[in-house]
Chains A and B, each alone.
Chain A
Amino acid sequence: MSSSSLALSARGLGKAYTITHNATDHVTMAEVALQRLRHPLRRAEREQFWAARGIDLDLHQGEVLGLLGRNGAGKSTLLKLLGRITTPTEGEIKLWGRVGSLLEVGTGFHPELTGRENIYLNGSILGMTTKEIARQFDAIVDFAGVEQFLDTPVKRYSSGMYVRLAFAVAAHLESEILLVDEVLSVGDADFQKKCLGKMRDVASTGRTVILVSHQMRSVEELCQRVVVLDRGRVAFDGETADGVANYLQQAATFVPDSDANARPGSGHLRITEVSVPRTNLAVEEPKRIRFRIEQFDTATDRCWVTAIFRNSEGVPVAHCESLQVGMWYSALDGPLEGEVSLRSPWLHPGDYIVDLALQNYGMIDQFDGACRFSVRPGYPYRAGAWDEAARRDLVPPDFDFDMQGASVGADALESPDRST
């Protein structure tokens, strides 16, 4: 790997954003001028927030790098720096080639313009020359499958067609270095497969790629190397398997915001206690979370409760809202206890985090990472071979088969043994 030449090199890279205190965000020139006149000597108190700092990164030509990190770890900032969308506050970046950024699909698409016009416009915005677009035009149209609608304004496209066309343009970028953020998660399953295939092609043509994704599977499949960011710094740089493990561990050791007063929401009511009766559960067992709500302000006494179950990658698996089952909670007569029980779907073995929230047409208390539990390995199905194949499904199903006809009899399987 070290024999090939560098494509990108960053040294001591940092980006700071200024957060202005006391002065209430002066966005107009008149306000700034007025502030200066009133307090000629006082400068607004400013705090610098380093979204990324001290980042060293070398990427060789043809390398496909996976960039991982929790929300707010600095992934987007780093991509924006490398993609030249924003300039660094300190450090430097050297680029040996053009950079194409795919931070979003369809940047600059205009609903009134036709498919054809948007291909040229969007391609140019992404940095393709008119000649390159003309050469790739047929491939783009073919990939998106919109031949018949080329001269129709894209506002009449279905959302699926729109996204396919947008991705198709981006997928045909010819820049030497490609930065991709989460765009793989567009379209239906078939199209996602196609996108992944396209990414594989791009990676195999010797171009340098940085891929940000929350889908560990695509990272494992496409990347030879992984960098994990944590609070704006490089926490890991190495082999993909180790990097993914490092990231998953980081995601699991996430410290909840247990300080009630620091949590978002009006705070009229607060979740003061959360407990999980059983923290080590079987796949098919109901997942129960108990919580206690107290009133701190007479402004509100009623609310509904939302519980979001997330897997260890932080992906929401189930969203349970008490309002949907007709439950309002009122803490008028003192603290109250409640419980949410997730019976179905079943959950794969692994660690889970639950976010709780109290709402009343507005956020009252948002308690992310309120509690955690784990589901122990082993499925309540008969055949052991099933495990391997279905581990990749979103959820393990709770299902039955039925058979009607003459031959129902001795050969029919017994129903699986379920303890619930």
Chain B
Amino acid sequence: MTDTPLNPPKPWFVARPRKSWFPSNPRDLWHFRGLLARFTARDLTLRYRQTVLGMTWVVLQPLLGAGVLSFVFGSVAGLSAPKGIPYLVFSFAGMVAWNLYSNITMRAGTVLIGNAQMIQKVFFPRLLLPLSQVGSSLVDLAVSLVVLAIMLAVYGIWAGWALLLLPVWLLLFVFAALGLGLTSGALAVPFRDVQYVLPVAIQFLLFATPIAYSISAAPASTRWLFYINPLSGLFEAVRWSTLGTPFPSSGLITYSIVASLAMFLLGVMVFSRLERRFADVI
């Protein structure tokens, strides 16, 4: 680097053509940390102020989802939940985690396009837009966790100390969701069809993931599909922590943990790589 003789102090920032796979200036993220909270507050305020049913929907959505899945798998397909756990509670526990995952993925995947105007006119670390979707999704999660807690109390289900590890599994869900959300969100800027493909992919994932049934309930011939899905182990782990079902095999859970973190890293890299063109092509 050449220093201008006039100017001994190091520049605060240097902009150059770059093709980097990592965020350009981590200091920006820290300076703009207040914006992360503002974006989150904005989303929450708008969601709960605009609809009369605001809060009600947050409770109803996973309940209805769990109801449908219980009907499909419990009644139509004739699967059964572990002894002592009603099917609705069994699928609701899965639905709570699933909603966290799908909300973050969907919102992070579309938030850039929804804020195109801002991206063209002001600088701020673009990463904050998808990251801000985590906070509002966590609030939704908190509401459904309360409902789950009531259900567990009513049916007298107690998983014991395993409950303490629940936040860890949920955090891994957040990482996995950001992985897919950041990747698809960044790709959706130059390629608008990505935003139409994403809901289909998530719909597919809903059925290819053991949310309302355990892996052991799936036919042996299709089980490999569940083993390569990094979410499988996390769902089993969530049920272990809330319903007291058996802990997933150590291989499966290790794979799930590593894969979730790897997906997050990949998402950050793809995002950083494409980020510099956002303002030009959005």
Contact = CB atoms under 8 A, between A and B. Distances in A.
B118 A107 contact: yes
Contacts of A97: 12
Contacts of A80: 279
Given A28-B192, A117-B42, A88 B16 contact: yes
B83 interface: no
A108 B34 contact: no
Contact of A125 (B46, B50, B124): B124
A112 B225 CA distance: 45
Nearest to B279: A86
Of the listed residues B4, B41, B45, B123, the one surrounded by the most CB atoms of chain A closer than 10 A to its CB is: B123
A5 B50 CA distance: 51
B14 interface: yes
A121 B132 CA distance: 13
Interface size range of chain B in the complex: 35 or more
A85 B123 contact: yes
Interface in B173-196: 187, 190-194
Given A6-B7, A30-B193, A127-B32, A113 B46 contact: yes
20 contacts: A5-B6, A5-B9, A27-B190, A28-B191, A29-B194, A29-B197, A86-B280, A88-B16, A91-B17, A94-B11, A96-B7, A97-B12, A107-B117, A107-B118, A107-B122, A108-B117, A108-B118, A112-B46, A124-B35, A127-B32
Interface string B218-231: 00000000000000
Contacts of B37: 130
B15 interface: yes
Interface string A43-85: 0000000000000000000000000000000000000110111
- 7 closest residue pairs by CB, A with B: A28-B193, A29-B191, A94-B11, A130-B34, A124-B35, A87-B276, A93-B15
A310 to B, nearest CB: 27
A95 B14 contact: yes
A104 B121 contact: yes
B124 to A, nearest CB: 6
A249 interface: no
B276 A96 contact: no
Interface residues of A, number: 48
B14 A84 contact: no
B120 interface: yes
A95 B42 contact: no
A89 B19 CA distance: 11
A2 interface: yes
A110 interface: yes
B14 A94 contact: yes
Contacts of A113: 42, 45-46
A92 interface: yes
A117 B6 contact: no
Nearest to B36: A124
Contacts of B46: 110, 112-113
